[in-house]
Amino acid sequence: MIRRLIVPQAAAFKRRYHFPMKVVKLGAIALIQIIWTSGVNAADTNYELKPINLPGATGTVALDYVAYDRATGKLWVPASNTGSVDVIDEATDAVAQVTGFKTGEVELRGRKVIVGPTAISIGDGVVYIGNRGDSTLCVIDAHTLERGECLEVAPISAGRAAAADGVVYVAATRELWITTGTPPLGISSADKSIQVFDASDPRHLKLKTKIPLDGSAEGYAVDNKRGLFYTNIEENGTTVPIDVRAHKVVANWNPGSKELQGLALDGARGLLFVACGDHVVSLDAAHGGKIIDSLQTGAGLDNIDYSPEQKALYAAASQAATLTIADVDDHGKFRIRASVPTVKGARGVIAGKGETAYLIDPAEGRILKLTHK
């Protein structure tokens, strides 16, 4: 899952029904020569970035999370201020659009901005959407794209501190976990907790419990095999594992930075990756969260991702306008595979199949599809 809202003038800020759909086909391709580290075969020195414009985008789109569904080969993109969720087919790059989500005006640092659907998670045959525009949580059929129930996460009057930030399906317990607030902008979670919904009936969610935290949750990763949910605590700069069955924090780890963003996980090898502003650290999640290695990426990290298939970490630095791709060995050590020039503001990435990855480009209202040549 991918993050961080971007508003007009490239300023970054954080982090029901049936609808008609429309498909948009795009063909423009920009081939980008990448910068490689020494020792890499010169025959493999090209990546390709293909822009995929989002329907109805006439400027900046407040992109935050996106999700890739391996079962259907679709990339889901909540397009916030457009009031839609866009669905991109990985094979054709055609875009289907689920429209009609409510948007709302909020004040951010003295400016009025429009927000709508921004959070997303792939569930059991469904997709869950968190909407900041009206503080609701909606269910969409992953195959037909028809929307089912929507429920209120918090009254609109409760503001951004109570609206859904991250939406996370936990398969091990068939639950949906929701974080709230906008911690990087100083908007702490209203009650400093994670809301847990029973998703045993995927299309009909029921509030189950709340997990108290020492601060606001920022970023997440789920280890369904070990039954652990990982998140960062914004106020104290720690990374915490939570037992998904007991609903309790079981440890507090120090990743060595107070500027914490996204998380990614290699569940098979027990490695947790933490984005820390301008670098990523690998932690030994199987042995007390010890710091193993650090990878410099350039400033402006947000959501990172890991491909178990490639055993590779993807980290997009928005200020440096660079995507770093790094191989990760069995000991959790990084080796840079490539440093790919992107665009300013591209701050989130998610891995697809093979060596395909997708980056958000909020300022231009588009997704950048990365493929290896």
Looking at the predicted structure, is the pLDDT value of residue 17 above 90?
no
Looking at the predicted structure, is the pLDDT value of residue 43 above 60?
no
Please answer whether residues 104 and 154 qualify as being in contact, where contact means their C-beta atoms are separated by less than 8 angstroms.
Answer: no
Please answer whether residues 372 and 44 qualify as being in contact, where contact means their C-beta atoms are separated by less than 8 angstroms.
Answer: yes
Cα(318)–Cα(346) distance, integer angstroms: 5
Pairing label, strands 206-212, 349-351: unpaired
The 3-class secondary structure across 42-109, one letter per residue, is HHHCEEEEEEEECCCCCCCCCCCCCEEECCCCEEEEECHHHCEEEEEECCCCCEEEEECCCCEEEEEC
Q: pLDDT averaged over the chain? A: 87
Domain boundaries, the chain: 5-372
| Single-letter amino acid, residue 136 | T
What is the model's pTM? 0.87
CATH class name, domain 5-372: mainly beta
* Percentage of the chain modeled with pLDDT above 70: 86
Strands (DSSP E) along 142-185, which ranges? 147-152, 164-170, 175-180
Mean pLDDT of 9-33: 33
Pairing label, strands 74-78, 67-69: antiparallel
Residue 253 in tokens: 């780890």
Please answer whether residues 291 and 272 qualify as being in contact, where contact means their C-beta atoms are separated by less than 8 angstroms.
Answer: no
Q: How confident is the model at residue 155 (pLDDT cuts 50, 70, 90)?
A: confident
Looking at the predicted structure, is the pLDDT value of residue 166 above 70?
yes
Cα(305)–Cα(3) distance, integer angstroms: 11
Mean pLDDT of 39-45: 32
Lowest mean pLDDT among 111-115, 169-173, 260-264: 111-115
Cα(192)–Cα(75) distance, integer angstroms: 30
User: What 3-state class would DSSP assign to 150?
Assistant: strand
Q: Say what the pLDDT of residue 107 is.
A: 72
pLDDT tens-place string over residues 334-362: 999 999 999 999 989 999 999 999 999 99
pLDDT tens-place string over residues 61-106: 999 999 999 999 999 999 999 999 999 999 999 999 999 999 988 7
Q: Say what the pLDDT of residue 184 is.
A: 62
Looking at the predicted structure, is the pLDDT value of residue 271 above 50?
yes
pLDDT tens-place string over residues 204-213: 999 999 999 9
Burial 164-202 (b: 16+ CB within 10 A, else e): bbbbbbbeebebbbbbbbbbbbebbbbbbbbbbbebeeb
Looking at the predicted structure, is the pLDDT value of residue 222 above 90?
yes
Identify the burial level of 116 via C-beta atoms within 10 angstroms of its C-beta, where 0-12 means exposed, 13-18 middle and 19 or more buried: buried
Q: Say what the pLDDT of residue 15 is.
A: 37
Looking at the predicted structure, is the pLDDT value of residue 190 above 90?
no
43 or 342, which is more confident? 342
